A and B are shown apart, each in its own frame.
Chain A
Amino acid sequence: AQTVTQSQPEMSVQEAETVTLSCTYDTSESDYYLFWYKQPPSRQMILVIRQEAYKQQNATENRFSVNFQKAAKSFSLKISDSQLGDAAMYFCAGGGSEKLVFGKGTKLTVNP
C-alpha cells in the first residue's frame, strides 16, 4: 500500500522569491520513485522533477530542486526565483513499478 500526503492546500510566494512545498509518503515497496507534477489552469499534467528512492543525491532541474529525506519519508519541492508562470496546482506522487499515487495537491499562487 502507498499513501502520499500534502499538508498544505494552498501556498503563496512573491515573484523572484523561494518557496518550499511539502510532501510525505508511506510505502511498503523497497524500490520506488517520487515525482512532482505541475497542473496549471489548462489542467495539463506536467512532470517537474523525479527522484529515485535508491539515490541519496537530491534531484535538481533548473529552478526546481527536491529535499528527499528517506528516513523521514519526506519529499519536498523547492522553487527558486519564483515566476508568474509557476502558479499552478502541484501534485506530489509516488510509484513503484506501476501506478502513481497522488497527494491532494498544493495550490501555489505567485504574487507580482
Chain B
Amino acid sequence: AAGVIQSPRHLIKEKRETATLKCYPIPRHDTVYWYQQGPGQDPQFLISFYEKMQSDKGSIPDRFSAQQFSDYHSELNMSSLELGDSALYFCASSLSPSYEQYFGPGTRLTVT
C-alpha cells in the first residue's frame, strides 16, 4: 500500500538559512498534518490543512509557513533557521479529519 512520502529525508542547513520540506500524502487523503519531534521528545503539532485550507495551527514559529497545493501535497517552509530547529519533522495524512493519521518517515533537519 502507498504510504506518505517526505522529501528530503535528511537536510543539513546553517543558521539563518532557509529550508523547504515536502510531503506527499497517501492517495485520496485530503488532510495533511505537520509535527516536530525534538531529540528524546514526543511529536508536537505544528499545522494542518484540509482540502487545501489551513484547518488548525499549533506551536508553529512565525518563521515557518506551510501550504497545501491543488494535488494535496504540502510544503513546510522554514526561514531564519536556528539551532533549536534541529529536529525530526513528520508529515501525516488522513482520509479527512477525525480519521487515523498515517505518518511519513520524517525529514531529519540539522541546523549547524
Chain A residues in contact with chain B, CB under 8 A? 31, 33, 35, 37, 42-47, 50, 91, 95-105
The 4 closest A-B pairs by CB, nearest first: A45-B103, A102-B42, A99-B45, A98-B56
Q: Which residues of B contact A (CB under 8 A)?
A: 33, 35, 37, 41-45, 48, 55-56, 58, 88, 90, 92, 97-98, 100-103, 105-106
Q: When the two chains form their complex, are residues B42 and A103 in contact, meaning their CB atoms are under 8 A apart?
A: yes
Number of A-B pairs, beta carbon distance below 8 Å: 53
Complex Cα spacing A33 to B55, Å? 18
Specify which chain A residues have a CB less than 8 angstroms from the CB of B45 in the assembled complex: 99-101
> Most chain-B Cβ atoms within 10 A of its Cβ — which of A42, A50, A100?
A100
Q: Are B98 and A99 in contact (CB under 8 A)?
A: no
Residues of A near B102 (CB, < 8 A) are 47
In the complex the two chains form, is B42's CB within 8 Å of A99's CB?
no
In the complex, the answer to whether B88 meets A100 with C-beta atoms within 8 Å is no
Contact sample, A vs B, 26 pairs, CB 8 Å cutoff = A35-B100, A43-B37, A44-B103, A44-B105, A45-B92, A45-B106, A46-B103, A47-B101, A47-B103, A50-B100, A91-B42, A91-B43, A96-B98, A97-B97, A97-B98, A98-B48, A98-B55, A99-B45, A100-B33, A100-B43, A100-B45, A101-B45, A102-B42, A102-B44, A103-B42, A105-B42
Using CB atoms, name the residue of chain B closest to A104: B42
| Minimum Cβ distance to chain B for residue A41 (Å) | 13
Task: Return A99 CB to nearest CB of chain B, in Å.
Answer: 4
CA distance A97 to B56 in the complex (A): 10
Q: Which A residue sits closest to B3, measured CB to CB?
A: A44
Give the complex CA separation of A104 and B38 in angstroms.
12
Bound Cα distance A16, B90 (Å) = 32
Within the assembled complex, what's the spacing in Å between the Cα atoms of A50 and B100? 7
